[in-house]
Amino acid sequence: MSIRQSLGPSTGAAPIPRPAAGSLTAANRFGGLPMPSLEWNAQIAHETAHLYERIKTVVPAIEWPFFAPYVKAINALKKERNAVILAHNYQTPEIYNCVADFVGDSLQLAREAMKVDADIIVQCGVHFMAETSKILNPHKIVLIPDRKAGCSLASSITGNDVRLLRAKFPGVPVVAYVNTSADVKAEVDICCTSSNALEVVESLGVDTVIFLPDLYLAKYVATQTKVRIISWEGACEVHERFTAEELRHYRDGDPALQIIAHPECPPDVIAEADYTGSTAGMIDWVRKNRPRRVVMVTECSMADNVQAEVPEVEFVRPCNLCPHMKRITLPKILHSLVYLEEEIVIDPTIAEKARHSVERMVNLKR
Ligand code: SF4
């Protein structure tokens, strides 16, 4: 059952918040540093050669002279600023393999964010991920290299929509996918990711839950549990573009081809898959099974990142890119570290309520 339409129009796309004008930001307090030299020369080539080794199967040698000066400057600035970079599995190979300190899916990054010892977290992912890190680290500086890196799921629902849902279904607990704003997380009972959605729904011990905002993830969870799911009509603009027909076309050409899909895909796409799981689950599946040829039905960069690790596996790439994830680039990461921009700021009352929902998820016994 999906109830978005029955509530009438959504209260509007969730805006991406900005620090209030005149607020004392990290950039005001600590100031910028000189922009490092970005010259490509023999010394940079020598010092970064071991990093290029990691990505040489997916990044042409001709591109490395552009990336390498940024990689060197970012890694030096991380030490100077006492910063760490948390990068999502959908980041491009030069970010994922050459400057990230921790990589993973949303759940793994949230768990890492809880353990971070550094003063500054640079989140290479989308805005809701940086907000989650800030929610878990209210006293640290959390930066996102491009504030406009949003998400079609996060922008499909507002905190006010959740309040309307609660009024319509009194007493029914609300589970929110982490792909939501802090404002929404503050209104729900518990968060989940695609890694633990089923576990979270069943942990509540009730016969009905409201599950938002991803309609397809809700449908997938509903196939795995007896708990009745009331869903919202949000969708990931990347995963909803895959079709069962294109997957059958790939399989027709090679019946032994393995298809692994993310649960944000439509149900007929999932029905074609040999395995369905979160990005971390998909990566583990490839590491364990080492298929000869595989299609990863998810954002395109992940195949490049896994390919760098398992060069013997052939990846068939239906290349659907997330335009929001692709806003994060090496030049923007460097800008973030030099000027301490763009800082994530959350109203402390909202952050406190949202922290309860995120920590309840992270602390679920596995
Ligand atoms: S891939 Fe989909 S769910 Fe992930 S950030 Fe992009 S739009 Fe959001």
CA atoms within 13 A on the CB side of 168: 17
Contact status, residue 346 vs residue 182, Cβ threshold 8 Å:
yes
Q: What are 130's two structure tokens?
A: 């940086």
Q: DSSP E strands: which ranges in 242-308?
A: 258-261, 275-276, 293-297
Report if pTM > 0.85: yes
CB atoms within 10 A of CB 223: 13
Beta strand 120-124 with 141-143 is: parallel
Under the banding of pLDDT at 50, 70 and 90, the label for residue 209 is very high
Residue with CA closest to ligand 1 atom 7: 151
Q: Please name the residues in contact with 233: beta carbons below 8 A apart, sequence gap of 6 or more.
A: 2, 4, 5, 156, 213, 215
Residue with CA closest to ligand 1 atom 2: 236
- 294: CA distance to ligand 1 center in Å? 22
CA atoms within 13 A on the CB side of 80: 16
Q: Is the dihedral of CA 141, 102, 104, 174 positive or negative?
A: negative
Does any ligand 1 atom lie closer than 6 A to the CB of residue 325? Answer: yes
Does any ligand 1 atom lie closer than 6 A to the CB of residue 108? Answer: no
Whole-number mean pLDDT of the chain? Answer: 92
Nearest partner of 222 among 235, 233, 209, judged by Cα: 209
Total number of residues shown for the chain: 366
Q: Please name the residues in contact with 41: beta carbons below 8 A apart, sequence gap of 6 or more.
A: none
pLDDT, one tens digit per residue, over 232-269 is: 999 999 999 999 999 999 999 899 999 999 999 999 99
Question: Can you tell me the distance from the alpha carbon of 121 to that of 143, in angstroms, rounded to the nearest whole number?
Answer: 6
Nearest ligand 1 atom, CA 126? 5
Query: Given this model, what pLDDT does residue 30 score?
Result: 80
Query: Given this model, what pLDDT does residue 9 score?
Result: 43
pLDDT, one tens digit per residue, over 285-321 is: 999 999 999 999 999 889 989 988 899 999 998 889 9
Element (H, E) at 325: none
Under the banding of pLDDT at 50, 70 and 90, the label for residue 8 is very low
Query: Given this model, what pLDDT does residue 14 score?
Result: 63
pLDDT, one tens digit per residue, over 94-150 is: 999 999 999 998 888 988 888 889 999 999 999 999 999 999 999 999 999 999 999
Dmax (CA) for the chain in angstroms is 66
Does any ligand 1 atom lie closer than 6 A to the CB of residue 262? Answer: no
Averaged pLDDT, 182-201: 96
Contact status, residue 263 vs residue 270, Cβ threshold 8 Å:
yes
The alpha carbons of the chain give a radius of gyration, in whole angstroms, of 21
